[in-house]
Structure 1
Amino acid sequence: MHPLTIQSGQDGQSPPNGLAAAGPAFDLVIFDLDGTLISAPRGGGRHVRVPGSGETLAVLRDSGARLALASLCGRGFLADGMERLGLSAEVDAGRCLDSPGCSDKAMMVADLLLEFDTRSAVVIGDTRGDGAAAWANGLPFVHFVGTGADPASVPGSDATIDRLVDLPRVLDRRPRRLRELWIELDRPSGLALVGPAGSGAGLVARDLARALAAVGVAATTAPRQALGGEADEVAERRVLEDLLEIDALVITHGPAAADGWPSDCLEAVLEATAPQALREVRVRSAVLGGAAGQEAALERSSLEAEHVARVLAASPPIRRLGTGSPLDLPDRR
């Protein structure tokens, strides 16, 4: 394989016949403010930066990630943190209780996902409310306890850190695990990630391509949209055949990416799995247009899940990846 890469599209998905470029573990990193990036000295006084915050933000920015704040404060407190403490030069956006449409932290997180047009995001904070805001949007949560939070106060956190400088290493678990997985599969030249909407299959495919690009392995992704319609299947087969002419790893993904394609073209089939409740949260939070649009998306996701079950019952996957906690991607063999 040639280590050739070109830029991905702005939506974070590789363009047709385009090789993926290396990118950050998560497109967007959303921080709580008070207790996470800044804190008040013991005994009171004006807030100061948390040790390691500047170094951590610089490392994340250098990786290509965008950075944002979501804080249960007013405009004045946010401005003080942004201006007096220098965060405005390091953070791309901020939300507070005075931001339009942001009456709670979950709404702030949702609004930031819309602004940056991504579902590849993670929330960092020190309280149970920060975790709830992440999970309400189907995102992973890293619990920061370095300013005195109880490590056990947010059960179910995807990771816990007591130093901000450890955050980049924790977030890098995802690309590192994806590279390890590709090696464990004996470096296939074509693989499929199968799963319905909300399963995380598309992001895993994209992030695998990015992770391999970072070590000089060319890869491209091909979404599978159809649920088995003959016309769509023929068109998608042609796309795959064209992609297989490229000297690069081809990663297909979608509700049944292995169904209807030549079995000898794809050396490995993986299933992306997440609890139904989490899939529904992810689907709802990704859909604009109100309840009707969300219900339609949920119905389609349910049909996709049934289709995936039928396909994989006949041809079981090599691996099942638990995508409920995107930081770790554990195997479910």
Structure 2
Amino acid sequence: MLRYILKRLFSMLITLLIVITLVFFLVRMVPGDPLASMARNLPDQVKANFYAKYGLDKPLFTQYLLYMKGLLHGDFGESLVYIGRPIKTVISDAIPPSLRINVQALIFGVTTGITLGTIAAYKRNKWPDHVVMFIAILGVSIPSFVLATGLQYFLSVKFRLLPTVGWTSEFGMKQLKFSIMPTIALSFGIIATYARYMRASVLDVLQQDYILTAKAKGVTGFQLATKHVLRNAILPAITILGPQIAGVIIGSFVIESIFGIPGFGQVYVSAITNRDFTQILGQTVIINALYIFSLLVVDIVYGMVDPRIKVFTNKR
């Protein structure tokens, strides 16, 4: 397993290098100059100093080499829009709100989806099954930003149960109130996906011979569901965990803007709007590193749940 993890880490670094390189040159190809508007009325010498400070007066490939050199030392550079503000500071300030909402949405969505899908399978063609499938259809059909605005109208404007927008750095119930609606909006699609996958997977497992054998031995109820049904039915759910993590990260860009949360997504959208090259690159590195690392974690969890996968990875 250790050898497999080391191989995956090496491939992750190669993938991350390719992504950084592509994003660096693609961003530089975007028309416009982020410093042009700010330095428009400044003397020529001051303009030259600004361009020299950020290395924009050098050839493109030299800029790339300098950026990669700084990245190896953990230096993401400084923001082109907020002069003198390190990208590391921007990222460290934006991560806590996004991390809380994304983790809450992922945990709530996965656990709720697995639970609903299992109930639907055990109650096949009965009213619980129809209710779960109706929720799944809604989750697939309704975009997260539409659901977010609907939650704002009913829970904030009409019933005044939760704050409409905003965020607080204070932990506890006050922060929880601000995070409830974004969490629901982000997790609804995950709930729908996992409910459908788990229903199909549990129905398939219930028809297997080893389930009939377990029933013949007298294994029933909770023990049958946890040790035999869920243990095997949950494997497809683990497989799609990686794409769901990516979906939560991407979905938070819109959700954070709607709810006015000063998180990673809102800062990233602002950086794209302002053509803040260094900020876009720095956040892209973090986002891709987190996503690639999450895929490795999914593979490790897959091996822990299914010993056959662990043997396969050891052979590799």
TM bucket (normalised to shorter chain) is: under 0.3
Q: Which has the higher helix share?
A: 2
TM-score, normalising length: structure 2: 0.23
Greater strand proportion: 1
